Structure 1
Amino acid sequence: MTLKTFAFLAAMMAATAAGMAHAEERRITVDAIGTVQVAPDMATITLGVTNQDAEASVAMKATSDAVAQVLSRLTDMGIEDRDVQTRDLSLSPVWSNRNQQNGEPPEITGFVASNRVFVRVRDLSQLGQIMDAVIQDGANDFGGLSFGLQDTKPIEVQARAKAVGEATSKAEQLAQAANVTLGPVQSISERTGGVRPMAEMRAFSVADTGGVPVAGGEITVSVSVSMEFEISE
């Protein structure tokens, strides 16, 4: 037998052995999701001011003055600079005769100026009062309100533990149903599901000072895992 033939046979035997070993591997793979519901401790609102006037400069000045007053009020109420950000600033013409069929050309008859800001409220007990105050100061454009958590990591730890426990329980049930013995974990991976509002809302006390009524409800933090267990002999 030549050296080349011997090397070829050795490679074939190694490949066959590896294939048999792989074929003998028996695994149980399960997926699970762990969720934790908690009350929010932060809110984000998008608010702004919109004004229309025949003169562009007048519309923009009225909007800018009102926004400056809103920002000053937010500062007075304890909102930090890092929690306020301009979202968009726009100035658009108002057209007349744009869709007319009489042949007359369209004409600009005015301008609309808009300035919207993103505000993060870390003290939810002030949320209703803040919304009420900025409306009084000229805010006439609200783009949304959402609740969240300032730090999701502790809740994610709980959700992760629940997901692993659920996956392990599923694997044990499958092993018992198949009349096999569940072995050690061979691999595990996770995917964070993020934070989302719960459909079932819970009343949230704003204040007794007459602010805009809001409901904080609950939010859910979820983590999904995929685990692979060995089947022992």
Structure 2
Amino acid sequence: MRRSLPMIVLLVSALVAAGCAADDGSATGTPSPVGATVPTPAALSRVAGTLDGVTNGGGITVSGLGKVTGTPDTLTLSIGVSVLRDSVSDAIDVAAAKADALLTRLRAFGIADEDFQTSNFSIHPEYDWRNDQRRLTGYRVTNQLTVKIRDLDRAGEIVEAAAEEAGDEVVVNGVSFSIEDNEAMIQAARDAAWADAFGKASQLADLAGVALGAPTAITETFSPSPSPLVYAERMAAYDAAATPIEAGSEQVTVSVTVVFAIG
């Protein structure tokens, strides 16, 4: 019995040493295979943050564009008179008479009173320079109207008649075309924009191997295309044929940005 005591002491010491070795180190559980890469806490944190972004406010963000083209139904004409006379009173009287005659001629085409608007009225002196001295040449009165013409088939005839009525002192700043009621076009463009966005989101979800969820945010932008302006110089003489005016087309564009949830 005395001979076995040292052996027992050695056995207990070995067991204690093995237990201390197992407690030393940061990993617990099944040991990693030799050569395996163990993710660091920072890497695990980044992955967790990415997953959190998908489930909390993340998703698939796409934009969609819809364009619809229509035919204008209204012409806006900017026309008036510009009169230069020696005195202010004479310039005002002549400009008023010519503007009244212009209105009368336009009303004869059935243009309603609500389609007329005074867009500019101004009075200012004019000078010229001779021998480095300024000399008063007279006073200019300008009376400008904005007129909506809805009968586009007669637009050229109307513009020409108005210019003839005002004579050499007519000022035509230009014409522009528009669609008076374009709500149906906007709705059609919106439908096209949504279909474009949904198609893109569905494709991205398929490529990523995830399910496309409900939209969580939608932003819309509407932008009508600028109407073309047709400018004209002062007109002093006219042919017998009506001035040709082509309405062309007008486009409305709707764009949407949509965020879809994942799953």
TM-score (ref. length: structure 2): 0.71
Name the structure 1 match of 2:68: 36
Where do 5+ consecutive residues of structure 1 fail to align?
1-19, 199-208
Match of 1:91 among 123, 148, 165: 123
Alignment of 1:183 with 2:213, yes or no, is yes
Q: Using the TM superposition, give the Cα deviation of residue 181 of structure 1 relative to its aligned residue in structure 2, in angstroms.
A: 2.1
Match of 1:109 among 126, 134, 137: 137
SS of the residue 1:33 aligns to:
strand
After superposition, the C-alpha distances for 1:74-105 in whole angstroms (9 at most, x for unaligned) are 1111111111000111111111337x53xx4x
After the TM superposition, which parts of structure 1 deviate over 4 Å for at least 4 consecutive aligned residues? 20-23
Aligned residue type for 1:222: T
Name the structure 2 match of 1:161: 191
Question: Whole-Å Cα distance in 2 between the matches of residues 32 and 227 of structure 1?
Answer: 8
The alignment of Structure 1 onto Structure 2 pairs a total of residues equal to 202
More strand by proportion, 1 or 2?
1
Alignment of 1:56 with 2:84, yes or no, is no
Alignment of 1:220 with 2:248, yes or no, is no
Q: Using the TM superposition, give the Cα deviation of residue 21 of structure 1 relative to its aligned residue in structure 2, in angstroms.
A: 5.7
1:32 and 1:225 in contact (8 A); partners too = yes
Q: Using the TM superposition, give the Cα deviation of residue 231 of structure 1 relative to its aligned residue in structure 2, in angstroms.
A: 1.2
Aligned residue type for 1:230: A
Question: Whole-Å Cα distance in 2 between the matches of residues 173 and 21 of structure 1?
Answer: 23
Name the structure 1 match of 2:260: 229
Name the structure 2 match of 1:147: 177
Name the structure 1 match of 2:158: 130
Aligned residue type for 2:127: W
Q: CA RMSD in A?
A: 2.4
Where do 5+ consecutive residues of structure 2 fail to align?
1-50, 229-239
Aligned residue type for 2:128: S
Percent identity (aligned): 31
Aligned residue type for 2:106: L
Question: Whole-Å Cα distance in 1 between the matches of residues 111 and 124 of structure 2?
Answer: 30
2:54 and 2:262 in contact (8 A); partners too = no
Between 187-196 and 82-91, report the one with greater CA deviation: 187-196
